[in-house]
């Protein structure tokens, strides 16, 4: 039987965070959702506000906060390239100062803490698929570095708090994840293609579309995060552990699939490839299978259908493009 806990989810109003809050509430836990709404809006958690076990705090993780909790999921950070490049210095502050603040809280409260790290720490990988032992190939000077290096520094802080202060840490490296509640203007490839197809805009492929990504459906990903947080054996398994769907697609294949699934007059157009855009990405999930008995259950077509249905159910005008980069 699960014992009930007080759980803090930073970035809890976001795409992944709001679903995580829902799942934790359904397990009967007390959930504190902390968010500054930089890339999200209250509508993502509106349906949770009437739950007495749910509490919403507008706060920026770069500023310390004192709460008493048993567990922390640290998700606060802009995740889409357009969002994190909008104010790159703030992105780095959010990853690094945010990590220091939540790790300090975990140390004080003796709380277990999980970091939402990313496949971006592998940069533009020379090894394929990427295992956790791969150390990555990141351009420290490029436009993606604020996110990649911020997340790398956060991993370092997590391991140092673990080694020096005995904090019980968990690291998950999340690969491209999609699903309902993605911000329609976040500029990520799945939200862009679906929004473009539904509104009859051209589908924008960056580069020639031969670059690959492996897309994980939201529910699978959140299940993996919870399993990693709850994992007890072997003693001291901190990760990092890759969480993602190992089925790999080219961006062109994705565009064609979206066009097949949505009745639209949209056509594919080609735009320049952004600097440092990784050419290939696919997780090696051997560790997740072994330690967490986890692997994705929802494949791309099924997950896309659920995402398309959700995009059809919202009024896109209710969503403010948070940055000009969409
Ligand atoms: P998201 O942008 O929807 O969620 C991030 C949330 O963090 C938002 O609600 C945002 O308002 C909040 N936030 C940003 N800066 C903050 C700050 N300074 N203080 C408080 N809140 C702040 O993105 P998401 O896809 O749900 O990503 C959640 C986490 O998972 C992020 O840490 C991201 O790096 C990580 N991740 C996501 C993916 C993916 O494909 N979705 C892949 C790798 C890693
Ligand atoms: N991409 C694209 N068209 C778009 C948005 C993205 O071709 O309208 C490409 C992008 O260049 C990258 C891939 O799709 O190669 C995934 O981009 P996304 O921003 O979703 O995530 P990333 O994995 O690059 O962080």
Q: What is the pTM of this model?
A: 0.97
CATH architecture of 189-211+247-280+302-318: Alpha-Beta Complex (3.90)
Q: What is the pLDDT of residue 122?
A: 98
In the structure encoding, which two tokens stand for residue 251, read together?
């961006």
H helices within 56-144, ranges in order?
81-84, 88-109
Name the residue at shortest CA distance from atom 23 of ligand 2: 176
pLDDT (mean) for 244-252: 98
pLDDT at 326: 38
The phi, psi pair for 211, rounded to 5°, reads -65, 150
**Tokens at residue 270, please?**
């080609």
- For atom 11 of ligand 2, which residue has the closest CA? 206
* 15 CA → ligand 1 middle, Å: 7
Which pLDDT value is given to residue 240?
Answer: 98
Q: How far is CA 235 from CA 39, 147, 168, 228, 288, in A?
A: 36, 31, 10, 13, 16
Give the pairing of strands 212-214 and 248-250: antiparallel
Would the CATH topology of 6-181+217-246+282-297 be identical to that of 189-211+247-280+302-318? no
pLDDT digits (tens, 9 = 90+) for 121-135: 999 999 999 999 999
Confidence of residue 325 (pLDDT cuts 50, 70, 90): very low
Buried/exposed code over 129-165 (b: 16+ C-beta within 10 A; e: otherwise): bbebebebebeeebebbbbbbbbbbbbebbbebbeee
Distance 236 CA to ligand 1 centre (A): 26
**Is it the case that residue 186 has pLDDT exceeding 80?**
yes
**Atom 14 of ligand 2: nearest residue by CA position:** 189
Q: Which two tokens stand for residue 56?
A: 């919403």
Which listed ligand is nearest to 326 at the C-alpha? 2
What pLDDT is stored for residue 225 in this prediction?
98
**Mutate which of 75, 90, 325 for ligand 1 pocket (most atoms within 8 A of beta carbon):** 75
Q: At 295, which helix (H) or strand (E)? A: none
pLDDT tens figures, 146-159: 999 999 999 999 99
Q: Is 192:184 a contact under the CB 8 Å cutoff?
A: no
**Of 291 and 236, which is predicted with more confidence?**
291
Cα–Cα distance between 307 and 324 in angstroms, integer?
A: 23
Using one digit for the tens of pLDDT, what is the confidence trace for 161-178?
999 999 999 999 999 999
Task: State how far Cα 310 lies from the chain centre.
Answer: 18
Among protein residues, the one whose CA lies closest to atom 21 of ligand 1: 35
Domain boundaries of the chain, sorted by first residue: 6-181+217-246+282-297, 189-211+247-280+302-318
The set of catalytic residues is 147
The pLDDT tens digits of the residues spanning 188-202 come to 999 999 999 999 999
| The predicted structure's pLDDT at residue 317 | 82
Residue closest to 293 by CA, chosen among 284, 282, 285, 283: 285
CATH H-level, domain 6-181+217-246+282-297: superfamily: NAD(P)-binding Rossmann-like Domain (3.40.50.720)
- Residues 89/25, Cβ–Cβ less than 8 Å: no
User: Has residue 293 got a pLDDT over 60?
Assistant: yes
Q: How confident is the model at residue 3 (pLDDT cuts 50, 70, 90)?
A: confident
Q: 86-95: per-residue pLDDT in tens?
A: 999 999 999 9
Cα separation, 95 vs 79, in Å, equals 11
- Cα 84 to ligand 2 centre (Å): 14
């Amino acid at each position: 039987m699960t014992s009930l806990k007080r759980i803090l989810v930073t970035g809890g109003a976001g795409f992944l965070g709001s679903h995580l809050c829902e799942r934790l509430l359904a397990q009967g836990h007390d959930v504190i959702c902390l968010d500054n709404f930089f890339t999200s809006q209250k509508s993502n958690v509106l349906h949770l506000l009437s739950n007495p076990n749910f509490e919403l705090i507008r706060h920026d993780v770069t500023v310390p906060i004192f709460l008493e909790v048993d567990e922390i999921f640290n998700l606060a950070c802009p995740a889409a390239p357009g969002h994190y490049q909008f104010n790159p210095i703030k992105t780095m502050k959010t990853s690094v100062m945010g990590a220091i603040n939540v790790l300090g809280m975990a140390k004080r409260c003796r709380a277990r803490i999980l970091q939402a790290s990313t496949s971006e720490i592998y940069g533009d990988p020379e090894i394929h698929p990427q295992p956790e032992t791969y150390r990555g190939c990141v351009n420290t000077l490029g436009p993606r570095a604020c996110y990649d290096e911020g997340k790398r520094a956060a991993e370092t802080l997590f391991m140092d708090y673990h080694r020096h202060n005995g904090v019980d840490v968990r690291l998950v490296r999340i690969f491209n994840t999609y699903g309902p509640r993605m911000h329609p203007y976040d500029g990520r490839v799945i939200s862009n293609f679906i929004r473009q197809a539904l509104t009859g805009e051209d589908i924008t492929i960056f580069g020639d579309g031969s670059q690959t990504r492996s897309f994980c459906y939201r529910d699978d990903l959140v299940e993996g995060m919870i399993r990693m947080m709850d994992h007890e054996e072997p003693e001291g398994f901190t990760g990092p552990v890759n969480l993602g769907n190992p089925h790999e697609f080219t961006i062109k294949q994705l565009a064609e699939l979206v066009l097949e699934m949505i009745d639209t007059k949209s056509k594919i157009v080609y735009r320049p490839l952004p600097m440092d855009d990784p050419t290939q990405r696919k997780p090696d999930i051997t560790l997740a299978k072994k330690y967490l008995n986890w692997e994705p259950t929802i494949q791309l077509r099924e997950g896309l259908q659920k995402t398309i249905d959700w995009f059809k159910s919202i009024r896109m005008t209710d969503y403010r493009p948070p940055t000009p980069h969409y």
